[in-house]
Structure 1
């Protein structure tokens, strides 16, 4: 059998490319890990959690310092039974992607779902909001839904914040307020400005689902109703608002990467390739720290300049024209 490239091995391991010819019976199946090294797939009688613990170092490097490791792995243990039929490689890459973004797969910040034999990382609305806060440019984010009998108004031409008003009667139950007709999201930025209000109707959400969700399309073709758009439509509707909001607020590199990883999951592609690399993040942080320190050092030791420094001219100085006064020439 021909030797596969690293890119092809990762695709095969994640289930996004056809597998090569089968190995002879009795030969342990090899899978490519995220660094391109081949590792033996665990036997069926070994628990998936024990297998994941072999990658404890990789998870420790991936998780940001502010994420509690015990809380992360507690959430992982709770979700593993639902991933029992997923390939180990896809489970590993989905969980590592989740860890690198610093999100806990607790159903609120992120979800690890099963799509056929693949485990897929799905950042939820709160996960996007968390990364907006980490950017340092967003002060608060509000996400809500407008029900049929709620009082609201939207005038795009009016100045913020008078352009959008939502007054739900919280004394009424959700049933009394009626079905959800609109979902919206907006952010207050540092300095007091408010972002654009993103509003999506049910029709908007369905168009997003039909155009971008490969998992929904595949489930529809196969007659299944187990995709996330089937089982958590309102959550995906709200998340679609937050995803669009992420594009109209100041975006960090991490938030841009999360949008790409989420889109890759919807398209059935390998998501970990879009996740922040812990080594790159560490080197970037060290470089930025050294740059700030160097600038501060220069400012502290730089002498005070009291005269104008000479400027190198790109063109030679032009001679002033000679003027004539009372018939006598003199140099200006």
Structure 2
């Protein structure tokens, strides 16, 4: 049995031993035993595939329980894109931190029972986009799905309520995006989601802003429940209003959330070294380069016959960074390591 599986098996008891407690905390419409088992299994699956998360759960079992308690109260499935379970290092000790995901926030809007649909879209430079507050109740957006849409320029979000009205329309322009980046330490880091998944971050910013204006709830209000409350004729009219707009599958049936991704080794190393901003979870380019980054620099230099020993590798770093006083490979920051690796990639390609 692998180390990951051993850790996960040990932590399995922490999850399933408290199944009755979690089941009681879940919203009433999620308390059927089959649903509770699926909820618990999602958390277990996340630990099973991620040794760092499993290790954090065993190091601080109370932190895992706290995260699962919060997920249960919200009615979100842990270990998925609705609610992430992440390993963090706090004062030298590994622990589990629960984070509500973008999909979880949208799900809570639906569950309020006041929302018929939630629309969150990214806008590219090549799209046709019109929005005039006061003169329009929702934006007109016509993407060129099969052409070059150009770079991202913004995002927007709104909800269509059960009475057919439209919530406040949230517009995320470049000024708002820049403000979100400025508030996020390390947003220029190559490990930052702003660099790796910019579209998702545009959508996340829009969804976060919309959540301030739209009711949310952990209790699920299905279409059937809404019909029983406001009448089938009225609900069908709402559906028609949505489908006739350009909301593009705004009321599509919500599928089970996808499992969360396993953290990259470089990110885990940064957590262990306390190089991750606790508020944003991002790695700063000014932090020391990870062990894997420095090893990769040495490996590529040797493969390209640029450096055969440590001293020649250090000198090559000084030359590439144009910094005679640099300490060399061991003195690299994350940003510098990425710069050196990028230049080595160019040399290899040339």
TM-score by length of 1: 0.53
In the TM superposition, what is the alpha-carbon distance from 1:136 to its structure 2 partner?
1.9
Residue 129 of structure 2 contacts residue 142 of structure 2 at CA under 8 Å; is this kept in 1?
A: yes
Is 1:169 matched up with 2:144?
A: yes
d(CA) in 2 for partners of 1:56 and 1:179?
Answer: 47
Q: Which residue of 2 aligns with 1:133?
A: 110
Residue 153 of structure 1 contacts residue 166 of structure 1 at CA under 8 Å; is this kept in 2?
A: yes
d(CA) in 2 for partners of 1:124 and 1:45?
Answer: 23
Provide the secondary structure at the position in 1 that maps to 2:78: coil
Is 1:122 matched up with 2:104?
A: no
Residue 109 of structure 1 contacts residue 126 of structure 1 at CA under 8 Å; is this kept in 2?
A: yes
Distance 1:231 1:115, change over 3 A: farther
Distance 1:57 1:230, change over 3 A: farther
Q: Which residue of 2 aligns with 1:274?
A: none
Please, what is the CA RMSD of the aligned residues? 3.3
Deviations 1:238-260 (A, max 9, x none): 122112112122455989xxxxx
Is 1:237 matched up with 2:202?
A: yes
Q: Which residue of 2 aligns with 1:9?
A: none
Provide the secondary structure at the position in 1 that maps to 2:29: coil
d(CA) in 2 for partners of 1:191 and 1:44?
Answer: 50
Report which of the two has the higher share of strand.
1
d(CA) in 2 for partners of 1:64 and 1:253?
Answer: 7
Q: Which residue of 1 aligns with 2:154?
A: 182
TM-score by length of 2: 0.51
d(CA) in 1 for partners of 2:88 and 2:191?
Answer: 9
In the TM superposition, what is the alpha-carbon distance from 1:144 to its structure 2 partner?
0.7
Distance 1:46 1:155, change over 3 A: closer
Q: Which residue of 1 aligns with 2:12?
A: 49
In the TM superposition, what is the alpha-carbon distance from 1:112 to its structure 2 partner?
1.7
Residue 189 of structure 2 contacts residue 195 of structure 2 at CA under 8 Å; is this kept in 1?
A: no
Provide the secondary structure at the position in 2 that maps to 1:118: strand
d(CA) in 2 for partners of 1:266 and 1:180?
Answer: 25
Question: Mapping of 1:1-332 within 5 angstroms?
Answer: 47-67=10-30, 68-80=35-47, 81=50, 82-86=52-56, 87-105=60-78, 107-116=80-89, 117-161=94-138, 164-172=139-147, 176-211=148-183, 217=185, 220=186, 226=191, 232-250=197-215, 266=279
d(CA) in 2 for partners of 1:254 and 1:206?
Answer: 35
Distance 1:84 1:192, change over 3 A: same
Provide the secondary structure at the position in 1 that maps to 2:17: helix
Distance 1:55 1:177, change over 3 A: same
Distance 1:267 1:153, change over 3 A: closer
Q: Which residue of 2 aligns with 1:302?
A: none
In the TM superposition, what is the alpha-carbon distance from 1:83 to its structure 2 partner?
0.8
Provide the secondary structure at the position in 2 that maps to 1:84: helix
d(CA) in 2 for partners of 1:44 and 1:126?
Answer: 28
Residue 183 of structure 1 contacts residue 238 of structure 1 at CA under 8 Å; is this kept in 2?
A: yes
d(CA) in 2 for partners of 1:227 and 1:70?
Answer: 34
**Structure 1, 132-141 or 76-85: larger mean CA deviation:** 76-85
Larger of the two Rg values belongs to structure: 1
In the TM superposition, what is the alpha-carbon distance from 1:126 to its structure 2 partner?
2.4
In the TM superposition, what is the alpha-carbon distance from 1:109 to its structure 2 partner?
1.9
**Structure 1, 62-71 or 202-211: larger mean CA deviation:** 202-211
d(CA) in 1 for partners of 2:107 and 2:70?
Answer: 16
In the TM superposition, what is the alpha-carbon distance from 1:127 to its structure 2 partner?
1.5
In the TM superposition, what is the alpha-carbon distance from 1:188 to its structure 2 partner?
0.7
